[in-house]
Amino acid sequence: MLDAFRILEEDKGIKKEDIIDAVIESLRSAYRRRYGQADSAAIEFNEKTGDFRVFTVREVVDEVFDSRLEISLKDALAINTAYELGDKIKFEEAPAEFGRVAAQSAKQTIMEKMRKQTRAITYNTYKEHESEIMSGTVERFDNKFIYVNLGSIEAQLSKQDQIPGEIFQSHDRIEVYVYKVEDNPRGVSVFVSRSHPEMIKRLMEQEIPEVYDGTVEIMSVAREAGDRTKVAVRSHNPNVDAIGTIVGRGGANIKKITSKFHPTRYDAKLDRMVPVEENIDVIEWMPDEAEFIYNAIAPAEVDQVIFDEQDSKRALVVVPDNKLSLAIGRRGQNVRLAAHLTGFRIDIKSASEFEAMEQAAENQEVEELAESDSAE
């Protein structure tokens, strides 16, 4: 019995104390089924032999009303002349009478504890890896997910968490970002991503020593996976250039990051799928919000940044006329990423549009003033 407990503890992670409790509860339950009550049952476990013993406890009384709970003084004295009224006497029961029921009940209880324990271990293990990158193997596919084996669980990689164009085959080894671990009625669910902005941050921590040790800090990341990413960084050492450190000599560090992804597209000229690199723009984070927005709009130049007096997280960015399309970007991508990076809602205006807007506002003020004077 003790060897069985040890094996369960080592292989399944179930504590010996939990197994003993399960067996005791099962014996008590079996006794209840056999005799209709269990309050009088006392169950003892011998730590040396690994044996369980079941006792019933009966009180010494003058008149017996329930022989399962009471014993007459006469019968008690026949056992030992020292017994008196009110004493409690233990009688060992033969577990064989209800042992089969107890064994089945114990098995069910232990199996349930094993399931709960395994589930708790799985949940705690992967919860510790939440917001981290893990390596796994592509196992299977369905209409909603790619299932990635992380060791003791299949994580779910949804379509929106995949990089557009990336194609995997079964048994491919991939890296994923664990962004959520849930313990729900159906079991433990681990949700992973390859498109999450935080994956870029974690990869940089892995690949760039200065990021890992905190010399260079990644302040924010805005990403449209498979296409373009903006990363805002700052240095905590005046002798270390934050942008140069992230980019690396000849772009070596950035190449390490982009090599982790391999989205592809069809090239009609070559008549085959070709890789598409994810472009990563590295900008300097600034404590001054206007300067930060200036940097975030790069590569476009900025004439001025005007903050909305009614909305503290809204800003108007004025750019030269010939830089408007660059500031907005293809399909609005540049300004969209800048907005996500800085946390501001950004409106872009060309210098001429801004001048016209200002002139219109000035004319409106003049008209209102003239109307006020005439009314007087």
Instruction: Single out the residue in 125, 159, 181 at which a domain terminates.
Output: 125
pTM beyond 0.75: the answer is no
> At 1, is the pLDDT very low, low, confident or very high (cuts 50, 70, 90)?
low
* Tokens of residue 22, six digits: 């399960």
> At 352, is the pLDDT very low, low, confident or very high (cuts 50, 70, 90)?
very high
Rg (CA), the chain: 36
Torsion angles phi and psi, residue 222, rounded to 5: -125, 130
Asked if 216 and 186 sit in the same domain, the reply is no
Asked if 68 and 164 sit in the same domain, the reply is no
Give the total number of structural domains in the chain.
4
Is 200 within a domain?
Answer: no
Asked if 227 and 341 sit in the same domain, the reply is no
- Domain range holding 321? 289-376
Instruction: Single out the residue in 101, 125, 149 at which a domain terminates.
Output: 125
Asked if 150 and 265 sit in the same domain, the reply is no
Residue 158 sits in a domain whose CATH number is 2.40.50.140
What's the rounded mean pLDDT across residues 304-317?
A: 94
**C-alpha torsion sign, points 83, 85, 90, 96:** positive
Residue 52 sits in a domain whose CATH number is 3.30.1480.10
* Tokens of residue 153, six digits: 């669980």
Is 272 within a domain?
Answer: yes
Asked if 267 and 312 sit in the same domain, the reply is no
Q: 228-262 b/e with 16+ CB inside 10 Å = b?
A: bbbbbbebeeeeeebbebbbeeeeebbeebbebbb
Residue 234 sits in a domain whose CATH number is 3.30.300.20
Is 320 within a domain?
Answer: yes
DSSP state for residue 319 in the 8-state scheme: E
Three-state secondary structure call for residue 217: strand
Does pLDDT of 351 surpass 80?
A: yes
What's the rounded mean pLDDT across residues 342-352?
A: 95
Is 31 within a domain?
Answer: yes
Is 233 within a domain?
Answer: yes
Asked if 53 and 158 sit in the same domain, the reply is no
| Better pLDDT: 22 or 252 | 252
Is 341 within a domain?
Answer: yes
Asked if 52 and 95 sit in the same domain, the reply is yes
- Say which range, 80-94, 157-171, 299-313, has the weakest mean pLDDT: 80-94
pLDDT confidence of residue 102 = 62
Distances (CA, A) of 216 to 125, 256, 323: 30, 17, 31
pLDDT digits (tens, 9 = 90+) for 266-294: 778 888 887 777 899 999 999 999 999 99
Is 354 within a domain?
Answer: yes
Is 199 within a domain?
Answer: no
> At 324, is the pLDDT very low, low, confident or very high (cuts 50, 70, 90)?
very high
Whole-number Å distance between alpha carbons of 369 and 64? 108
Asked if 243 and 266 sit in the same domain, the reply is yes
Instruction: Single out the residue in 285, 316, 346 at which a domain terminates.
Output: 285
Mean pLDDT highest for which of 65-74, 258-267, 321-330?
321-330
Asked if 223 and 265 sit in the same domain, the reply is yes
Asked if 8 and 116 sit in the same domain, the reply is yes
Asked if 32 and 53 sit in the same domain, the reply is yes
Asked if 303 and 254 sit in the same domain, the reply is no
Give 183's strand partners. Answer: 188
